[in-house]
Amino acid sequence: MAANEETLGAPPVLTPADRLTLLQVARQSVANYFARVEDPPPDTDSPVLLAHGACFVTLWSRTGGELRGCRGEVTAHQPLIAAVTQIAIAAATDDPRFVPVTPAELLCLRFEISVLSPMQPIRPQDVELGRHGLFVVRGGQRGLLLPQVPVEHGMDRAEFLRAVCWKAGLPADAWQQAGTRLFSFTTDTWDEDNP
């Protein structure tokens, strides 16, 4: 079955105030981590922020625009506001591709948040660039790429499929092999420059 509007869930609907709150929480959580201050309990009555949600937090250098860290989770198992708190800290301190962010860098970073829809199985030919993120699973290996990745890097569909396999540590053609499971998702993505 093709992934379309009827079969592909949507991310939760966030208000502008919800988006701003999550950006503030993400930045403050990293600042609190550096200051060794415990994060206070979430101060919100937004049902969307208190509902379970899956998200990614991406950190970008404001000076050169380089990626500085990105972490996330694919399963909604805790309130979205709590997920953003934990994942922002992980993006700053636990992305194995980069040295950890330093406290001095914090002001020079732009925070981006992507809230994920539920995962849905998808056939490779149904992947829509710029709309679908991909999650590939084969045995214990997993890889995920957000929907904006193929657009930012000028990939076609086959390149996107190969890239998500590479991210999982799989052969580039693993998406064509039996036993490989491919899932899609959509995101609601915003950042501090475009809340």
Q: What CATH code is carried by the domain that includes residue 181? A: 3.30.1490.150
Do 111 and 24 lie in one domain? The reply is: yes
Let me know whether 54 and 112 are in one domain.
Answer: yes
What is the structure's pLDDT at 55?
A: 96
User: Per-block average pLDDT, block size 10, for the chain (195 residues)?
Assistant: 44 90 96 88 86 95 92 92 96 95 95 95 96 95 94 95 95 94 95 86
**Distance separating alpha carbons of residues 147 and 130, to the nearest angstrom:** 5
How much is the pTM?
0.86
Residue 42 located in a structural domain: yes
Number of domains in the chain: 2
CB 189 within 8 A of CB 148: yes
What distance lies between CA 129 and its chain's CA centroid? 16
User: Looking at residue 90, which CATH number applies to its domain?
Assistant: 3.30.700.20
Q: Do 158 and 125 belong together in one domain?
A: yes
With a CB cutoff of 8 Å and minimum separation 6, the contacts of 120 are 3, 7, 8, 9, 183, 184, 185
**For residue 54, what are the domain limits?**
16-117
Judgement on whether residues 58 and 97 belong to the same structural domain of the protein: yes
Using alpha carbons, list the distances in angstroms from residue 124 to 85, 127, 165, 175. 33, 6, 12, 8
